[in-house]
Amino acid sequence: MPQHPSVDLSSFPPGFRWSAATAAFQVEGSRDADGRGRSIWDDFVGSPGAVRDGATADPGPDSYRRHREDVALLAALGVDRYRFSISWVRVQPEPRGPVLQAGLDYYRRLADDLLEAGITPFATLYHWDLPSALEAHGGWLERETALRFGEYAEIVAEELGDSVRHWYTINEPVSTSLQGYAVGTLAPGKQLLFGSLPTVHHQLLAHGLALGALRAAGAEEVGIVNNHTLVIPAAQTHADLTAAAVYDLLHNRVFADPVLTGAYPDLETFGIPPMPVADGDLELISAAEDFYGINFYNPTTVAAAPAGSPVPFEIVPTTGASTTGFGAEWPIVPEALTGLLLDFRERYGDRLPPLVIGENGASFPEPDHVDGPVPDAERISYLAGHIDAVGAAVRGGVDVREYTVWSLLDNFEWADGWSQRFGLVHVDFDSAARTPKASFEWYRALIEQARA
């Protein structure tokens, strides 16, 4: 039997939580079931060439029909919580339109089955599946979308708040803004560059509105979760240091500062247009959270852009780093997570609430069909390194309360379709058969050891 890397668990405090995650569009399938509406991701996968392997996300793991298998897997894994997302268009296909009881009933069944299994439901209100009807009127570029999201949050909070009491509001607004609206590699596929920045403010406003709605319904724990990265200058030159500062501003600070400090960083110094802030917005956005969520996968090495570039930075390979299945785009540097967490503590001080690692994981090439556990030693090494990195940050004084593996299941990896597998559990996308990988048993044993 191969020897897997061990993890130093001595720094993790009693009560530290261990979790696993998925998202609705990536695992549910059944896209036309029970009146579900159309989202920007339905539109994106229907665009020729938008998804690497032409995948359509259906049926995939088919969790809408097979969620009890997933709950059984989670119970066997021994996690404290399960992070899943609620599909806006499965609950309310048209903003201000009728609410679908079938969709709400599904999420209630999922939450109740989790509770019966001793697992806390930890739901995400928005994981990228914006109703197409809203995108047709500008999507997150328009303030109206934030207001409609607030109404959706009220519906979900009222209907599910007695079963689900722990919530993420918005997942990775940076990915929606920069990849969805700035460069077009994710839905809705816009290429607006700096013209995408109003989407930042409107998503953060949506978070603030949802925070209030969930708290009013008795939620015990609410916070936002963003993808953050440690930005590394390619060289210690003035040009590369400036480029790294701009990228850090756009990827990290423009999303975290308003939530944690009540103000946007100085954008105009870098020639970036100001945000469309109305009176009262920043008070809503910066209302005290119960936690701040950080999704982390890799650091980002940045150099000054070549002459003629429309942006002042260029992302370059990270020297000396091994990579995941995404290649140089996703370098593996666990200590970068420690550096990021320590940087957050130094940057935000006592304004920083407890942190939750909302996603961390890696994809590596694996077969489409298996007849036994996948020996995914590379994933185990990645997870062990990053859990150790969290422990190092805790020793450094950072208050981290939870670690979440992305993902429980192999699933639809957005523009990469079925070509990237992140799961602790292998999914045969033809049959939806689930087969735990070696990493599943490794994580189960780690959780057991942490509780011993």
d(CA 217, CA 116): 22
- Mean pLDDT estimate for the chain: 97
Which residue type does 423 have? G
Q: Per-domain residue ranges for the chain?
A: 17-451
Structure tokens at 196: 């995408």
Give the pLDDT confidence of 171-180 residue by residue, as tens digits.
Answer: 999 999 999 9
Mapping DSSP to helix (H, G, I), strand (E, B) and coil, where does residue 416 land?
A: helix
pLDDT at 284: 98
d(CA 130, CA 149): 9
User: Crossing angle of helices 377-395/334-348, nearest 10°?
Assistant: 30
Tell me the mean pLDDT in the region 441-450: 97
> Are the C-beta atoms of residues 167 and 107 closer than 8 Å to each other?
no
* pLDDT band with cut points at 50, 70 and 90 for residue 3: low
Mapping DSSP to helix (H, G, I), strand (E, B) and coil, where does residue 431 land?
A: coil
Tell me the mean pLDDT in the region 193-220: 97
d(CA 237, CA 265): 23
d(CA 153, CA 334): 35
For the cut 50, the answer to whether the pLDDT of residue 302 exceeds it is yes
pLDDT at 2: 47
Give the pLDDT confidence of 172-204 residue by residue, as tens digits.
Answer: 999 999 999 999 999 999 999 999 999 999 999
pLDDT at 5: 82
HEC readout, 84-137 = EECCHHHHCCCCCCCCCHHHHHHHHHHHHHHHHCCCEEEEEEECCCCEHHHHCC
Q: Is 346 a catalytic residue?
A: no
For the cut 60, the answer to whether the pLDDT of residue 1 exceeds it is no
For the cut 80, the answer to whether the pLDDT of residue 404 exceeds it is yes
Q: Is 159 a catalytic residue?
A: no
d(CA 444, CA 76): 8
Q: Which residue has the higher pLDDT, 191 or 271?
A: 191
d(CA 357, CA 83): 11
Strands, E, within 229-291: which ranges?
A: 231-233
Rg (CA), the chain: 21
For the question of whether the overall pTM of this predicted structure is more than 0.95, the answer is yes
Maximum separation of any 2 CA atoms in the chain, in Å:
62
* C-alpha torsion sign, points 159, 160, 166, 170: negative
∠ at Cα 413 (411, 419), nearest 5°? 90
For the cut 50, the answer to whether the pLDDT of residue 117 exceeds it is yes
Which residue type does 68 have? R
Which residue's entry shows tokens 């689900």? Answer: 164
Give kind and range of the element (H or E) at residue 287.
none
d(CA 297, CA 359): 8
**CATH superfamily placement of domain 17-451:** Glycosidases (3.20.20.80)
HEC readout, 1-20 = CCCCCCCCCCCCCCCCEEEE
**Of 28, 159, 289, 359, which residue is the catalytic one?**
359
For the cut 60, the answer to whether the pLDDT of residue 254 exceeds it is yes
- Cβ-in-10-Å burial (0-12, 13-18, 19+) of 371 comes to exposed
Tell me the mean pLDDT in the region 146-168: 98
Mapping DSSP to helix (H, G, I), strand (E, B) and coil, where does residue 267 land?
A: coil
What is the number of alpha carbons within 13 Å of residue 235 lying toward its C-beta? 6
For the cut 90, the answer to whether the pLDDT of residue 243 exceeds it is yes
Give the pLDDT confidence of 319-371 residue by residue, as tens digits.
Answer: 999 999 999 999 999 999 999 999 999 999 999 999 999 999 999 999 999 99
Task: Give the rounded percent of residues in the chain with a pLDDT score beyond 70.
Answer: 99
**Of 28, 172, 378, 413, which residue is the catalytic one?**
172
What phi and psi, each to the nearest 5 degrees, are found at residue 368?
Answer: -75, -30
Give kind and range of the element (H or E) at residue 304.
strand 300-304
DSSP 175: I
Q: What is the separation of C-alpha 296 from the centre of its chain, rounded to a whole number of angstroms?
A: 9
Give the pLDDT confidence of 69-106 residue by residue, as tens digits.
Answer: 999 999 999 999 999 999 999 999 999 999 999 999 99
Question: Please, which residues have CB within 8 angstroms of residue 374's CB and are 6 or more apart in sequence?
Answer: 366, 367, 426, 435, 437, 438
Strands, E, within 41-85: which ranges?
A: 81-85
> Are the C-beta atoms of residues 194 and 272 closer than 8 Å to each other?
yes
